[in-house]
Amino acid sequence: MGALGLASTLLQLILALLAASLSLTAYRLFFHPLARFPGPKLAAATGVHEFYFSVILGGQLPFRLQRLHSVYGPIVRIGPNELHISHPEAYEEIYRAGSKLSKWPWYYSCFGVGLSAFGSLSNAEHSQRRAATAVFFSRQSIFSYEGILRQPVETLCKKLKSARDRGDPVDLDRAFRNVSLDAISQISFGRSFDFVERDDAAAFFHEGVGDSLKTICTVRFFPPLVPFFNNMPLWLMKLMGEKLAAVMLMKRFAREAAKTAMEQHSLSPEEASKRHMILGHIVANRHDPRYGAVTQRRLEEEALSLIAAGADTTGNASTMAVYQLLRHPDLYERVKDEVQSAQTGPGGEFGLIQLEKLPYLTAVIKEALRMSYGLMGRLPRVVPPSGIEVLNEHIPGSTIVSMSTYLQHNNEQVFPQPSRFNPDRWLGEDGSRLDRYLVSFGKGRHACVGMNVAYAQIYLDLGLLLKEFDFALEPMSDWDMEYEDRFVGLHHAGAKRVHVRLK
């Protein structure tokens, strides 16, 4: 074939691809089952719209969605086959227990934990794997291992006293994350990271997790790269940056913990529970068909998902609470007086039982959760073939539907003046009514299994520190407390963390 023939063939190929692209675009815009739903034409035609706001602008999609809903209404087409919904009553329709909607593989597979409860795509597998860990996260179980949750907080209090004596400021943002990770690692594996004591190692870890989440949110748009990223060897990860290597070290820790759990297969379920080892409990019940197949790889992925879940939600909420209280001295004094005057137990004990009875502290925690979001962005679900009805609209089968915690928690109909920190909104009968709209941990079958542990940890974080210390906030602004959507909320690059001085 001569040069002229080759050029002709290439031209024909380019024209064929162009014609195919134009045909696909025309189908999506005018003939697709979602063509009747409003939204930007670019979003309806291509995934470039989401890529731009998620990756190029860096975690800005929730804010873009908020603007789109103000223009187009409660149901907006945000992708060729995706609808985003913003209406307070729709959340339970989509995410309720017993829902037949399933997780969208494209969105969740990039996390590389498909064998864990969190990563399970089918509802049946998710139910099996969740059942294997749920016993550890019931309220009754939490009271049995309150000491594990309390121990890193007490270690932190000792460090805070030393900082107070020296007159040094303390980074509470990182301190609260360290507490959470020490507690969840002890519960999961039977040994703690000891990050409260080893703050330098913790800083390396937290930066690595943040970098990893940003990378995951980018790699998602390039599916062929997902398996490569999730199975990248440690030496190659180190070449890409020391912070990402820290995440690989976390994976190595999870692998070792899973191997140890598998080797201790002679433990009875009762002994595993007594040692508060979630992985050990799964292995001890490996013959129970309700829990699904137990392999070392599954244990590794359960370990990773537990660590990731414990790293940010509770830390963000505790940090948000302290920041907002110190920005509002009247609220700070009110909750501090309540904690200081709280009755102790018969033996002088002061813990979860006492703290959970404090109405204003509880209101502060709920408001901090509302403003720190938990999983900030959208949680996509696949509609079953029969379709569903949402807000009196029929959503066709196989459509992707999603809602966002950020929009739910900033809905002015439910939370007037949503940017204002107002714990009083949670008090009384009106406050009880709001509980169904607080979705920091999701809803239904896929709700965070560790929600009770998270609440308990936040109660202990705030209760024990407010009982022991007075705080003064180091200079910072509200911008420093804003988030980017990296699945969980991460602060902007260059944002100041919450530093306090102790009195």
Work out the angle between the directed axes of helices 296-327 and 172-189 (0-180°, nearest 10): 150
**Positive or negative: CA dihedral 413, 419, 424, 426:** positive
Chain centroid offset of residue 107 CA? 14
Q: Which of 108, 142, 78 is nearest to 446 (CA)?
A: 108
DSSP character at residue 288: -
DSSP state of 375: B
What's the CA gap between 23 and 466, in Å, rounded?
Answer: 63
Distance set, CA 222 to CA 47, 145, 216 (Å): 12, 42, 10
Nearest to 88 by CA among 483, 440, 427, 405: 405
Q: Which pLDDT score, from 0 to 100, does residue 313 have?
A: 85
459: number of Cβ within 10 Å:
22
CA distance 435 to 197: 36
Residue 186 lies in a domain: yes
The Cα–Cα gap between 326 and 152 comes to: 23
Which domain covers residue 249, as residue numbers? 87-502
pLDDT of residue 233 exceeding 70: yes
What is the per-residue pLDDT for 15? 81
Report how far residue 111's alpha carbon sits from residue 119's, in angstroms, rounded to the nearest whole number: 8
Report the chain's terminal Cα–Cα distance, integer Å. Answer: 84
Total of domains in the chain? 1
Note the maximum CA span of the chain: 95
pLDDT of residue 324: 98
Q: Cβ of 16: how many Cβ atoms within 10 Å? A: 10
Q: What is the pLDDT of residue 272?
A: 61
Q: What angle do CA 118, 123, 129 make, to 5 degrees?
A: 50
pLDDT 10s digits, 342-370: 988 887 789 999 999 999 999 999 999 99
CATH code of 140's domain = 1.10.630.10
Q: Which of 37-41, 246-250, 373-377, 386-390 has the lowest mean pLDDT?
A: 246-250
- The residue with greater pLDDT, 234 or 495, is 495
CA 345 → CA 161, 323, 342, 350, distances in Å?
Answer: 25, 29, 10, 6
| Residue 317 vs residue 260, higher pLDDT | 317
Instruction: Reduce the secondary structure of 132-145 to three states and give it as a string.
Output: HHHHHHCHHHHHHC
Is 110 annotated in a binding site? The answer is no
In a domain? residue 28: no
Q: Is residue 179 assigned to a domain?
A: yes
In a domain, 486, yes or no: yes
Give the mean pLDDT of 332-339.
Answer: 97
Residue 70 tokens, joined? 């103000």
DSSP 378: B
What whole-number distance in Å separates Cα of residue 270 and Cα of residue 29?
Answer: 59
> Is 319 inside any structural domain?
yes
Does 61 fall in a domain? no
Q: Which of 29-33, 203-207, 461-465 has the lowest mean pLDDT?
A: 203-207
Alpha-carbon distance of 149 to 171, in angstroms, equals 20
Q: Contact, 226 vs 114, CB < 8 A?
A: no
For residue 56, is it within any domain?
Answer: no
pLDDT tens digit sequence for 118-147: 888 888 888 888 888 887 888 888 888 899
Bridge partners, residue 400, by sequence: 82, 382
The answer to whether the CB of 471 falls within 8 A of the CB of 503 is yes
Domain assignment present for 64: no
Q: What is the tens place of the pLDDT at every residue in 386-400?
A: 999 999 999 999 999
391: tokens are 């807000």
Q: What would the 3-class secondary structure string for 442-476 be?
A: CCHHHCCCCHHHHHHHHHHHHHHHHHHCCEEECCC
